[in-house]
Every structure is written in structure tokens, then in C-alpha cells.
Chain A
């Protein structure tokens, strides 16, 4: 290629350069890392001409230069104070590195840290952010629950410290494995200050009749880039029940690939995005029905203030074998400002003939009748608007049966709201 490299290519090149300097010290599958580096060298970061990245541009990310995280010694008290007060075991990562001193390792689940367990679910060749992660991952949690064990709730926490203008990038690699009939509720929280890139990849294997409840709160710095990719594989009778909340981040994307590989498996990929200012958040899902009698549910709600932009891309693939599939996808956006924008792209790809798949999308403003009704009863404007925003999100949040998790979500949303109206 003779043309000058684009920002996306240059950014990829600097990540590769980091890899070249670091690779002698990186643990885990070296060959896989080299393959991922080759992908990065060849293709760079994904650009707007790639269909999966049409609505989310990484140009701002490419214009930022990132450094290695420093050895994490910060006491992080201020960040820790922002965590919901939940008395459960927790694994705490600071700037992508495990901090034993801040963690309480669970007794009901096995945990290994330090060496990224890449596994086979994640596909670096199909997603270059996964390639980037695979190339540079230094740390991560490997969580396993033995057959029949109910491991209760576990917090997986990412804290990002403000290193005074020194933007850092970290690429944690997590894996969760639930053996047959086991259960785990994973409350996955990201918070931070300053400019950084948090590019986590997680793989979740849910064996027969096991149930993983995955509650994710992305409440990261308003200056941060947060690009997460998750792969879930659910066996017969198993459940992957997730809720993804995006409140923070300057530019964020949560991408989920969920495969229902055994009959009667269930996936819930619900989400809420509450954004303001010039925030951009993208929720992208690919659900693959690869077995009969499976069900997938997605209720995705986005609230946009200021000049914020929300994206939802939801693809449901139904293989020929996946008869009696029940797929549901609903995407709704509430625009609080004329400058906000929502892009929504539902996609159904169905090869079986006896399936029930529905999808719908709506974009609207606050309902004037409802707003007046509340005000006519004495509720002031700001409070009425907040009630209607909460009501809009309730349909997505109400099904979260874990009370502590739901309360943490609601708290994050309330704080976001108060930040807007202040």
C-alpha cells in the first residue's frame, strides 16, 4: 500500500509495537498472540466501511496515544467507595491488573489469575478488538464453578486510575466456566477516572442445566474508551441471563456473541444505555440458535440527552436444526434532546421453518400527555421527566431478579440523572 497510513492503521501499529516489546514477558499461548498480532498488522483497527462498525467510529480512539499501565500501587479508596455496598466475594483489577490486597477470593468458586486463559470461544480472526486483546492481554480472572454448586454472587471489578494525563490501555482476559447444574451471579462493574482504554474480553461456558446471571455495570470515566467483547456458549437446559448497563464512557461498545448450543437453552441479553453530552455507546449482539427449543430475549432501552448517540445492532441467527426457536428482540430509545441520535439495526437470519422470532424498534421523545398528567398532579418538571425516564427503563430493569444487582443499576442510573440535571 503506497498511501499514507490512516489513523486506524497507525493506532494498530503502535499497539503492535507495544506487543513486540512486551512479548517475551507475556504468559499464555504465544502462537495465538502472534496470529492476533498478524491480524492487527494486516487489517488495523476496524473502520466505518466494515458493516459491524458502520455506526461506531474508532477514530477518536485512534487519535489518542496510550501507554502501559504503571505498577498498580494506588490505594484506590475513592474508587472503591463508589462501588455498591454488597457483601460478596470480589475480584478487583486496577488498570487491568489483579489486586490481591483489594480482593476477597470466593470459596464457592475456583479462581485463577495471572495467565490469560484464551480458550476457543473467542474469535480474534473475526473481531480485531478481540485480536488486540489476545495480543496484549496480561491478566484476567479464570472463574470456575464445580458441578451442582451454587456459588452465589461474585463481584468482578475493574478500577481505572487517573494517571494525570497519561492515558493507559489495558486488555484483561476473563473466563467463566459453570459445570453442569451449577449457578453463579456475576456482578461485573467497571468504574474509573481519566482517559484510558479498557478492552476486556470474556468467555463464558455454561454447561448443561447451569445458570449464569451476568449483571454488568459500565460506569466508567466519561473520558474513557470501553470496548468489551463477550462470548457465551450455553449447553442444553442452561441459562445465560445478562443485563448490560452503559452509563459511563466517552466511547463504548459492548458486543455479545451468545450461542445456544443445546436444546432448551436460554439467553437473555437485556440492556440499558443512559447517555448525555457527546457520549457514544453501542450495544451489539449476535445470538446463534444452534439447537431446537431454545429461547432468546433482548429488551434494550436507550435514553439519550444532549448530543449523545446510541447504537443497537442485534442479530439473531437460527440454524436449520433450531426448530421451535423462540426469539424476541425489542429496542426502544427515548430522546431527551433534538441533538441526540439513535441508530438501530435488527437482523434476523433464519434457516429453520418452525420458529417464532419477533423484533421491534421505536424511537421517541417524552410523551407530552404523560408529562402534563404528572405536572397537573403537582409533580415539578424535572421530577416528572425523571419519573418518565425511570418508567421507560423499568421494563428492562424489572426482570432483574437479583435485588442487590438491580439496586446497584438503579443507583448508577439515578446518579447519572442527577449529573445531568445539576
Chain B
């Protein structure tokens, strides 16, 4: 379970998150929607430990562990996974090597046995097939020369292999056409289960047609101003953010 209480954070003197309260119980998928600049990406970065953000107040725990006190790699080993809005290119790092290094680093941190190369390849090929990714994407350098859709699929591939307990999807739908969106959504849905929860950050409702959330939260100016069921996303889609933001003010 992810529990965020009165979380405040910013960059330097500039506050961005102004007191976030959010509980995502185990097994649930929550959507966070909001206008540009409301703090959606900052929330995902603060939860995953990206340097450059100053946490000035509040707490965030995952299954009881104080996330904010952990290094990014320790959070990953606990099962926290951030699907990047802009996946990073790693020239000179092969995708297979990257995935296997990450998997084994997490397993080592958890005291589990490492996965050998043949078993890893078998696992990776199966996951790629499910995501309609060609085999050669394992041989290519991480995200280098990938199209926008391929990069997002590669994020979901990492998720399928690392099997996180909490996935934070930062605008994973941006830059995807309908077919890619469906593939990505199916990839996420296939992980759903009692041990998997997700925070799906999106600007638009269309991703939520495919990944149906248990709860929807509206983020504005660094606070969650409204929460509701999946129908809230439809209301936002129909009426825009302006009405909800004005109501909350």
C-alpha cells in the first residue's frame, strides 16, 4: 500500500507539491489527472527519488517503508517502478544487458538468486512477444533510435520483466497512437492482481478507457482537489479541468 501524507516538495525555493494526501491500497489502480503544471510529474519523480527535488514536508511510505529516505535503487528493489514520460536513451548499453543487469541488481538487493542469461532471454522473448515487439529490440541500444511508441513499449517491457509491486506511469499515453496505446494498456493490465498497484498519471481520459482505474484523483496547483470513481475521468473529459478547479477554489 502506498500512503502519502501532506507531501510538500519543490525545486529550490519554488514549491510544487503543496500537501498531497493519497492512499493507494494494494491491488488498486489509481489515476491522477490534472492540467499542465499541476505537479503530476513532480509527484512521480519525488516518489521514485529523482535528484533535484527538495522534500520540505510530509511523508510517503510503501508497505510501511519510508520511501523518501531511500535511494532510487532501493525503492526499485522494493518494487517501485517509474515508467518515464520521456524514456532516456542509453547509447552503448544494449537493451538485453540493461534489463538483465536491472533485474539481477533488484534480485540481489532482495536476497534472491540471479537469473542466468538463457533463462533471462527466454523470459524477455516471451514478454516481447506479448507486447508485439520485434526480437531485435533486445539487441539494440536502450531507446536509441526508438520511435516514441517503441520507447513507451520498452518501458512496459521493463515493467513486465521487473514485475514491480507499484508502477507509476507518467503520461505513458503521450505520443502513442491507438494501436500502441492498446498494446501498452494490455501490458499494464496483464500485471494487475492482488500484489500490484499503480498510479496512472495522465492528462487525457483515453488511456483510462483501456486501463480502468479504481479511483481517479484531480491534481491542481500541487494538491488533490477532488477524488472519485472512474466516472470522474469522463466528467473531466466532457467539462475540462476549469470547472473542477473553480469548484475547489
Contact = CB atoms under 8 A, between A and B. Distances in A.
Say if A and B assemble together: yes
Interface of A: 368-370, 372-381, 383-384, 387-388, 390-395
Given A369-B88, A376-B50, A377-B158, A387 B101 contact: yes
Interface stretch (B72-80, B190-198, B223-231): B72-80
A368 B51 contact: yes
Contacts of A379: 73, 101-102, 105
B101 to A, nearest CB: 6
Interface stretch (B23-31, B90-98, B209-217): B90-98
B48 A376 contact: yes
B76 A383 contact: no
A421 to B, nearest CB: 15
Contacts of B91: 391, 394-395
30 contacts: A368-B52, A370-B88, A372-B51, A373-B87, A375-B49, A375-B73, A376-B49, A376-B76, A377-B73, A377-B76, A377-B102, A378-B77, A378-B102, A378-B103, A378-B106, A378-B109, A379-B73, A379-B102, A379-B105, A380-B73, A380-B109, A381-B73, A383-B101, A384-B73, A388-B93, A390-B93, A391-B91, A391-B93, A395-B91, A395-B92
B72 A375 contact: yes
Contacts of A390: 92-93
Interface string B79-118: 0011010011111110000100111011001000000000
B71 interface: yes
Interface in B57-75: 71-73, 75
B162 A378 contact: yes
A371 B41 CA distance: 18
Interface in B126-180: 158, 162
Contacts of A376: 48-50, 72-73, 75-76, 81-82, 84
B72 A392 contact: no
A189 B42 CA distance: 51
A383 B87 CA distance: 20
A394 B94 CA distance: 11
Interface residues of B, number: 30
Interface of B: 48-52, 71-73, 75-77, 81-82, 84, 87-93, 98, 101-103, 105-106, 109, 158, 162
A392 B91 CA distance: 8
B53 to A, nearest CB: 11
Centre residue among A374, A387, A393 by max chain B CB count within 10 A: A374
Contacts of B76: 375-378
Contacts of A387: 93, 98, 101
B105 A378 contact: yes
Nearest to B88: A373
Contacts of A392: 92
A48 B89 CA distance: 42
B72 A372 contact: yes
Residue among A369, A373, A388, A393 with the highest chain B CB neighbour number at 10 A: A373
B123 to A, nearest CB: 16
B162 A381 contact: no
A384 B49 CA distance: 15
A378, A379, A388 — most chain B CB neighbours (10 Å): A378
Given A368-B51, A372-B51, A380 B90 contact: no
A379 B75 CA distance: 11
The 5 closest A-B pairs by CB, nearest first: A391-B92, A378-B76, A394-B92, A377-B102, A378-B106
A376 B105 CA distance: 11
A387 B93 CA distance: 7
Nearest to A373: B88
Contacts of A391: 90-93
> Chain A CB within 10 Å — which of B77, B87, B90, B109 has the most?
B90
Nearest to B76: A378
A370 B75 CA distance: 17
B92 A370 contact: no
Contacts of A393: 92
Nearest to B82: A376
B105 A383 contact: yes
B8 to A, nearest CB: 22
Contacts of A374: 90, 98, 102
Nearest to B79: A378
Nearest to A371: B51
Contacts of B106: 377-378
Contacts of A383: 101, 105
Contacts of A384: 73
